[in-house]
Amino acid sequence: MQNAPKLHPVQGITPALLPRSSMPRSTAILLTLTIVIGLASLLVGAADVTPLSLLSGDAESLELLLISRLPRLLAILCTGAGMSIAGLIMQQLCANKFVSPTTGATISSAQFGILIALLFMPDSTTWSRAAFAFAAAILGTWIFVWFILRMPMKDPVMVPLVGIMFGNVIGGITSFLAFRFDMTQALSTWLVGHFSLVLRGNYELVYLVVPLIAIAWIYAKWFNIVGMGRDFSKNLGVNYTFVLFSGLSIAAMITASIVTVVGSISYIGLIVPNLVAIFKGDDLRSTLADTALFGALFVLCCDLIGRLIILPYELPIELIIGTLGSLIFIVLIFYRLRFGRRSLNKDLLMKLFGLEKKTPVCTCTNGGAR
């Protein structure tokens, strides 16, 4: 009996039957970079901490690692991942790539809630301030989305401009109340994001980001459906209003928990989901892991830049992220206006840099060949 011919893997097996790796390559690369740079960041700071001192059991180095360096690293990772996922959820639900906690008045609303807590409860704990920040952030985000849903023209650039103006109104009210009741200095901690005050015992609230991201992953399919519109959701039997405001509440709670611990961190929820979507598309569940890892890696790198640029002093991370984020935001505006929601591929990349191949035009006439 003649042996059956060997089939090429692509020709003989359908793509659905091909074995899939447990982790995509991009996710593995981002995870590896995050772990390596994160471990290196534990050794960076005003005080000298070396691997040799840690392995030798030096008490001072171990204490510094456990009280300051490790909590700071965990807060950075949770902040980057949380703000990125919050922006991804808001962009998916609003079907607009320029909506984020920064341009959706979520951060400004959380700061307003913290000020209210300081005014009425001067001796409030971190969790008490977080409760006010949760309520204010959810309410502010709901009002913003309720307003844009009633806009006759949902221009991709007009929607975030409305959010920025709404956030400035809330920020103006917050500043006025802070000046009026002499709370400016007390509020300044939450106006500029930084990790210099993150120590063991005062940052654990940021761990709330982890279960909220897990909930977002579970309901990612419903978020994708709602992002396609009210009529599409209704045809599939999905409660559009409930899923929309539930997703916005998750994004607002993530943002409020981060603002309560480390202050305002702008642009992360705006630029990170856009950069990931350019390469991996718009499906929330398939991009959620890469978005979280890339956001954590981006914040970690910016924090290292802020710590190293004027060592032994450090710059607030809001300054580093604000500078880089604003430049990337401008590039994203031009990209989205020119190519829309299209993912980046080889042909699009060549077109972006003006290297597309032009099809030669035949100038031969019918009588040219005999």
Range with lowest mean pLDDT among 120-124, 233-237, 334-338, 360-364: 360-364
Banded pLDDT at 36 (limits 50, 70, 90): very high
Q: What's the chain's average pLDDT?
A: 82
Alpha helices of the chain — where are they, by DSSP H? 9-12, 25-41, 51-55, 59-64, 70-94, 106-120, 126-149, 158-180, 184-191, 209-218, 220-226, 230-235, 240-262, 268-280, 284-308, 317-339, 346-352
Architecture of domain 58-352: Orthogonal Bundle (1.10)
**pLDDT at position 159:** 82
Q: What are the angstrom distances between the C-alpha of 161 and each of 47, 157, 166?
A: 43, 7, 9
d(CA 107, CA 266): 8
Q: What are the angstrom distances between the C-alpha of 180 and each of 46, 167, 174, 190, 359?
A: 38, 20, 10, 18, 68
Banded pLDDT at 339 (limits 50, 70, 90): low
**Domains of the chain, residue spans:** 58-352
d(CA 38, CA 70): 9
Rg (CA), the chain: 24
Banded pLDDT at 213 (limits 50, 70, 90): very high
d(CA 93, CA 109): 19
Q: Name the nearest CA neighbour of 80 among 255, 198, 280.
A: 255
11 burial level (CB within 10 Å; 0-12, 13-18, 19+)? exposed
What mean pLDDT do residues 88-106 have?
88
Range with lowest mean pLDDT among 111-125, 151-165, 313-327: 151-165
Q: Output the pTM of the full model.
A: 0.83
d(CA 25, CA 198): 33
